[in-house]
Amino acid sequence: MNLNWRLIIKNGLLGGIIAFYLSAIGMAETFSQRYLISTFLSTGQLFVAVGGVTAGILTARALKEDYKKSTAYIGSLLAGVFSSLPLILLIFLIQVLVIQQTGQEVIFRWRDMFVNFSPGLVAMLTFGQGLGLGIPLLILASALLAGLGATFILFPDRLRLAWLNGLIWMLGIGIFSENVTQILGQFGGRGLARFLFQQRTLNPIAAILIFAGAFAIAYFRVHKTVQNRWTGMPARQQKRGRTIGLVLGILLLISLPWMVGQFLSQALFMVGLYVMMGLGLNIVVGYAGLLDLGYVAFFAVGAYTMGILTSTGPLGQSDLSFWAVLPIAVLVGLAWGVFLGFPVLRMRGDYLAIVTLGFGEIIRILATSDWLAPFEGGPQGILHIPNPNFFGITMHQPQTMYYLVVAGSLLIAFVTIRLRESRLGRQWMAMREDEDVAEAMGINLVQTKLLAFSIGAAFSAMAGAIFAARLGNIFPHSFNLLISINALALIIVGGLGSIPGVIVGSLILVGLPELLREFTEYRLLMYGLLLIVMMLFRPEGFLPEETQKRELHADEEELAPLET
Amino acid sequence: MTIILKVDKVTKRFGGLVAVNSFSFEIKEGAIDSIIGPNGAGKTTLFNCITGFYKADEGEIIFNDHHIRGFSPDRVTNLGISRTYQNIRLFANMTAIENILVGQHPHLKTLWIEAILKNGRFKKEEAEALKEARRLLHYVGLSGLGDHLARNLPYGAQRRLEIARAIASKPKLLLLDEPTAGMNPNESAEMMHFIRNLRDELGISVLLIEHDMRVVMGISENISVMDFGQKIAEGTPKEIQRNPRVIEAYLGRGAAAGFETQTPASAG
Amino acid sequence: MLKRYFQNISWVDVFLRVFQIAALIVITIGIYNTVTTGRYTSAQWATLVFAGLAQGSVYALIALGYTLVYGILLMINFAHGEVYMAGAFTGVFLAQYLSNIGFLDSNPFLGVTALILLAGTVSTLIAVLLERIAYRPLRGAPRLVPLITAIGASFALQYTFRGLYGAEFRAYPAVKALSGLVNVFGFNVPLVQLVVLAAAVVFMVALYLFVERTKMGKAMRAVSEDKDVARLMGIDIDKVIVTTFAIGGALAGVAGVFNGLFRPQGVYFFMGFFPGLKAFTAAVLGGIGNLPGAMIGGLLLGVFESLFPNLILEGLGIPSANQLRDAFAFTMLVLILIFRPQGIFGERLAEKKA
């Protein structure tokens, strides 16, 4: 058997380095007590396992073409063995540098530097068995994980998909145990929840059942069967089915907050808020190609407009209602978009990015300063912003505010779609593709950019105003760079220029972290890595913008000769 | 015949380099004229000065009685000059038909508010624009390719799409920067025919930059020869072919003899 | 003739001109008020200037990294501030150790050299890794793509170091040999500021000589002129680019140590963000792509930033003007990019478009 050792070692070590990295920055140990399935598998272990699995996947993929399957499996297992080497190195480092230092009088404590090089991490990596037994176990486990990774590539297609499906559902329900419990609780499924989870972790039997169910559904292609029956239906029935689907969808959208409870409704509210912002930013970045990193500035403008005009506290300037101020906030956002956009729009790509970033920071610094404090409260912020009142109903719950962001998102999506299909939308895209040529097509760049910038700003201000009315008080530190980055990351992950992409991106990047609060510390790390990975491997995003069919869409008609 | 474009002693410098040096010429309405010259002679820079990409340092550019030196490109286009590029510059991630629709920009008038409201005027204008775009697509022989992304089109189709986009703005003067670059003799001949049709059917005056002597000599009514930013000759194809300075500029001293009888397919 | 002139200016030009004049008037009024009220003594001004110079030399060293990379790849390495953080944050542990064993006081020169070596190495490593993982695969992609990657890398690096070294502030120990005041032109100036300034100048001169005199430096200049031609001349582009990132990284690491020596505020994982942006401003101020420009831009920015709250804002009657210090660099960046995008020394970036 002639194996490609170089490749195996390279992929193995690569996987090992990933595991080493995730362990060294603390993702392994921090979540070592967060169990997914009984006390058998924890989230921390899952993170470490990523290394071995990656080694297996990479090796299997590389060997698949040129070797027999059995050889590819063996290669992957070997890569798994190599992937344990960095982890073993880590264990020894901790053993020598940290554990043997404890209790001694030393001047330099390595633990002070590498805060996550803890005895607990060693215990976790060696399965609590001590070094002698633990390290062979680690090597074995790594090899098995790589073998698991290899199955993701080498299993026959049908089996592979079912296998993946089963694992994803099992782990997914394990990770979202709390939310699943909550939702089941709302539907009187408390008994089911008690069966599934013991102390927030999946009970092993339930885990196996979930796995088996998901596996079977994928294996017997239930999805395909349903689809086949659907396409087999006559057109009229399909149309009726689609109408029913639409009605059900709308009903779901309406009843969703009442089904999932207060906590999840708040998460949905945040998702909706970011959908609004994402759609606005999508016009600026996705259509017009202007990288705006200071988008939070307009969000803050909207929020402060709402705060200053409706607050019942000492800073409130008027008694206007939420509904009166909302359009004002949008207009103020529009005006600020023009005002801030004017000087910077002659700059190109990367300069624009940095300058807008600067604007975002300037606004935040100004909002925090004593200078403007008499108007907007400085660091103390604006308090006592009333919740909106809708025909006598005060919208103080996240469930009711949810409707507001859904309505806002729909409105913005509507405007976006209309604009995209107009002359202005084409101007934006032409500008994104090639600014010089666009200008040579007779497009006034300043005007076109300014429109993108200020329409985007207006949408952001609208989101900000709703945000202020939801929270009831606003502070300058809520308007930091992260909001801009969040909004940017979600439209990129979803797919620049794509409206469904914004929703998907928002669900992934805003919804998930709201549910998985325990990961807060590592949220931005994951964002950063996600952005890099997306740009390297899928720059068009998960749901890329679709090209529009125009030529063949129109009815074929007589083509008259061209005249002038 | 009226003069549609008059370039008068235009000079463009980049630092110490004089790319275009006191260059003058005129184009009559309905003419097909060419500018030829070795690589780096400043032809494209001159195009850029006319279309507003660069501001000429000195001289005058007069288009239909407008002094356009220093105008921004969009204003120049709105006055009725349109162009193509040496290295094709389509909007790569837009479909062919969208490219043409962008080209129609100077003639579309609805406001963005109307687009949101989708009022009658907007619908009518969009429908007409789309119809016109499809007609243009047909005119350049790309029917059926309208919904393909521009970057996915074959090379020749991209060239023609670029021209379709340029004439979508209904220009009075069309500047073509090496329209036959990278084409075989058959395709070149077709392009020549096509350019002549543009003038005959649409009444557009054409100014070419071209290397392919067969095309230049076959199509042009008047040729200006440029070398090191200066005009070294002007005249009909016949006159230019006999001009020793031109031959010298192209082939260097001593090689002049062969040029007179045989025009090289692609000089420079 | 006049009509033609008006025809050629757009309303944007008019707006910008008005804006420019307004900015000048505000600044003049501020300075005038401050100077005429005599709020500060000349010694106080001198203190501010020297503090600004020391801070500015840190900006200058970071700015060189931006300018080097921009010169060669025409790309803003947005994560460069994090490269600086990596060195500074790692260096602080060695500094504390050396201080604890007394080495930093008994052998200050060797001690600081060791710090510089460590921080420089770490930063170099990070910069090279960054290039290899995040930028190299994207060469030739649309400009937005590497920029977004850089933003991602910036966050990933911040939180990697947070995970590695923890979230707390850690302060560089004071070096005894560098404490104390020196008399310069009759003003008392902290020694450490002068040393930092001088050392930074040494590094910058060394870099300048490297780029001007060595073979690698020539290759770097060739690549920045024209990548394709340079490749045809047999220059290994990848090697040149890696070297560029490495040098920029090393200088950022050095800057991290210097910053720690004279600023007691401490280092932490987010420390690179603002200096990174300010150094970028410095690079733009000097003319991006221009090495002496970055050096002088950095020093100028340091001094301006140090003087600005007291000199201009207090004259305008703004309370707690020092709170707005961080906003200054950004304001300045915007103003430069609007009114003189080529910076002080930069030639107008190639006008070439079509």
d(Cα B123, Cα B121) in Å, to the nearest integer? Answer: 6
Positive or negative torsion for Cα A113, A119, A123, A129: positive
Tokens representing C151 are 């933003």
- Residues in B closer than 8 angstroms to A549, CB to CB, are 147
Note whether A367 and A376 are within 8 A (CB): yes
In a domain, C207, yes or no: yes
**Residue of chain C nearest A21, judged by CA positions:** C160
Q: DSSP characters for C222-267?
A: HHHH-HHHHHHTT--HHHHHHHHHHHHHHHHHHHHHHHHHH-TT-B
Give how far the C-alpha of residue B89 lies from the chain's centroid of Cα atoms, to the nearest Å.
13
Tell me the average pLDDT of chain A: 87
Q: Tokens standing for A442?
A: 């007779």
Q: Which amino acid is at B175?
A: L
Q: Which 3 state secondary structure label does DSSP give A448?
A: helix
* DSSP H stretches of helix in A369-422: 373-376, 398-420
**DSSP-derived secondary structure letter, B209:** E
Measured between beta carbons, the chain A residues lying within 8 angstroms of C12 are 342, 346, 446
The answer to whether A443 contacts chain B (CB < 8 Å) is yes
B240, with CB counted inside 10 A (0-12, 13-18, 19+), is buried
Residue B266 DSSP class: S
User: Residue B190 is encoded by which pair of tokens?
Assistant: 């077709």
Angle among Cα C246, C251, C257 to the nearest 5 degrees reads 130
SS3 label, residue B66:
strand
Determine contact, residues C124/C246, Cβ cutoff 8 Å: yes
Question: Does the residue C218 lie in any domain?
Answer: yes
* A558 shares contact with chain B (CB less than 8 Å): no
Instruction: Establish if C164 belongs to a structural domain.
Output: yes
Average pLDDT value for residue range B144-169: 91
Taking only the tens place, the pLDDT of each residue in C230-266 is 888 888 999 999 999 999 999 999 999 999 988 878 8
Backbone region of residue C289 per phi and psi (left: phi > 0; alpha: psi in -120 to 50; beta: other values): left
Does residue C316 belong to any structural domain of this protein? Answer: no
| Residue range C111-137: mean pLDDT, rounded | 95
To the nearest whole angstrom, how far is the Cα of C36 from the nearest Cα of chain A? 22
What is the per-residue pLDDT across B59-81, written as a single tens digit (0 to 9) for each? 999 999 899 988 889 999 999 99
Tokens 């090379």 correspond to what residue? B155
Q: How far apart are CA B260 and CA C91, in angstroms?
A: 75
Do strands A41-42 and A35-37 pair parallel, antiparallel, or not at all (unpaired)? antiparallel
- Chains in contact with B, where contact requires at least 3 CB pairs less than 8 Å apart: A, C
Q: Which of A444, A551, A560 shows the shortest C-beta gap to B97?
A: A551
Is residue A304 a contact partner of residue A296, using CB atoms and an 8 Å limit? Answer: no
d(CA C143, CA C136): 13
The whole domain housing C192 covers 56-272
Q: What is the mean pLDDT of residues B85-110?
A: 91
Tokens of C139: 């060469």
Residue A476 parent element (H or E): none
Asked if C217 contacts C211 with a C-beta cutoff of 8 angstroms, the reply is yes
Of the candidates A266, A248, A247, A265, the residue with the CA atom closest to the CA atom of residue A256: A265
Total tally of structural domains belonging to chain C: 1
Residue C326, domain member (yes or no): no
Query: Could you say which DSSP state residue A544 is in?
Result: P
Residues of C in contact with B47 (CB under 8 A): 354
CA nearest to C130, candidates C312, C1, C276: C276
Q: What is the pLDDT of residues A368-413, one digit of tens each?
A: 888 888 888 888 888 888 888 888 778 888 888 899 999 999 999 9
DSSP helix/strand/coil, A115: coil
- 3-class secondary-structure state, position A442: coil
What are the start-end ranges of the H helices in A155-221? 157-175, 177-186, 190-196, 204-219
Cα–Cα distance measured from residue B79 to residue B66, given in angstroms and rounded to the nearest whole number: 9
Q: Is the pLDDT of residue C347 over 60?
A: no
Going from the C-alpha of A20 to that of each of A23, A52, A90, A359, the distances in angstroms are 5, 11, 7, 39
Query: At CA A443, angle to CA B81 and CA C13, rounded to 5?
Result: 100
Pairing of strands B32-36, B222-227: parallel
For the record, the structure tokens of C42 come out as 């000349």
The amino acid that residue C112 corresponds to is: V
- Six token digits for residue B43: 């032809």
Q: pLDDT digits over B191-216, tens only?
A: 899 999 989 998 899 999 988 888 88
Locate the chain C residue with the closest alpha carbon to A433: C142
CB–CB contact B48 C354 (8 Å) = yes
**A290 to A91, A482, C305, C315: CA distances (angstroms):** 47, 18, 29, 37
Please check whether residue A107 touches B, CB under 8 A: no
CB A204 within 8 A of CB A38: yes
Please report, as a single letter, which amino acid is at residue A466. Answer: I
Percentage of the residues of chain A whose pLDDT score is greater than 90: 41
Q: What is the predicted pLDDT for the residue at C2?
A: 59
Q: Is the ipTM of this complex over 0.95?
A: no
d(CA A73, CA C312): 71
CA atoms within 13 A on the CB side of A430: 30
pLDDT at res. B136: 93
Task: Indicate the Cα dihedral angle C304, C309, C314, C317, nearest 10°.
Answer: 120
In whole angstroms, what is the distance from residue A364 CA to residue A352 CA? 18
Give the pLDDT confidence of A414-428 residue by residue, as tens digits. 999 999 989 999 999
Residue that is written with structure tokens 């909106």 in the block = A388
Q: Do C353 and B72 touch (CB under 8 A)?
A: no
Chain B hits for C354, CB-CB cut-off 8 Å, are 44, 47-48, 51, 53, 85, 89
Please indicate whether residue B247 or residue C50 has the higher confidence score (pLDDT): C50
Distance between CA B147 and CA B139 in Å, rounded?
16
State which residue of chain B sits closest to C5, comparing Cα positions.
Answer: B70
Does residue C29 register a pLDDT over 80? yes
**Category of B229 on φ-ψ map: left (φ > 0), alpha (ψ -120 to 50) or beta:** left
Give the residue from chain A lying closest to B107, CA to CA.
Answer: A442
Is the residue at C187 inside a domain? yes
Tell me the H-state helices in chain C: 2-7, 11-37, 42-73, 80-100, 103-106, 108-130, 144-165, 191-213, 215-225, 227-232, 237-262, 273-286, 291-308, 325-339
- Whether B256 contacts B247, CB under 8 Å: yes
Q: How many residues does chain B have?
A: 268
Name the nearest CA neighbour of A409 among A268, A214, A555, A212: A268
Does residue C5 surpass a pLDDT of 80? no
C-alpha distances out from residue A52 to A12, A159, A409, B169, Å: 8, 21, 42, 59
Q: Which residue has the tokens 């040579």?
A: A440
Nearest-neighbour CA in chain B from C351: distance (Å)? 8
Nearest CA in chain B to C350: B14
> Which residues, 6+ apart, have CB-to-CB distance to A161 below 8 Å?
A218, A219
Return the residue matching tokens 């003799």.
B185
In what order do the strands lie in the sheet containing B66-67?
Answer: B17-28, B3-14, B58-63, B66-67
**Distance, CA of C192 to CA of C57 (rounded, Å):** 12
Q: Is A355 on the interface with C (CB under 8 A)?
A: yes
Task: Count CB-CB contacts under 10 A for residue A3.
Answer: 14
pLDDT at C246: 96
Paired tokens of A171: 């782990």
The 10s digit of each residue's pLDDT in C276-305 is 989 998 998 888 888 889 999 999 999 999
pTM of the model: 0.86
Question: Which residue from A418, A444, A549 is facing B74, i.e. has the nearest CB?
Answer: A444
Chain B residue nearest residue C4, CA to CA:
B67
The angle formed by the CA atoms of residues A370, A371 and A372, to the nearest 5 degrees, is 95
Top-confidence residue, C193 or C323: C193
Q: Report residues of chain A scoring pLDDT below 70.
A: 1-2, 348-349, 549-564
Structure tokens at C69: 């990379």
CB contact under 8 A, C347 and B67: no
Q: Name all domains of chain B by residue range, CATH numbers in brackets.
A: 1-80+173-268 (3.40.50.300), 91-170 (no CATH)
Count other Cβ atoms within 10 Å, centred on residue B138: 18
If contacts are CB pairs under 8 Å, which of residues 419-438 in chain A contact chain C? 436
Instruction: Measure the CA–CA gap between C246 and C238, rounded to whole angstroms.
Output: 12
In C, which residues are within 8 Å of A26 by CB distance?
A: 163
pLDDT value at B268 more than 50:
no
Helix (H) or strand (E) run with residue A225 in it: helix A222-232
Report pLDDT for C351.
Answer: 39
Cα separation, B164 vs B137, in Å, equals 7
Query: Considering chain C, what is the average pLDDT of its residues?
Result: 87
Question: Residue B251: its pLDDT value, please?
Answer: 66
pLDDT, residue B132, reads 93
Cross-chain Cβ contact B77/A440 below 8 Å: yes
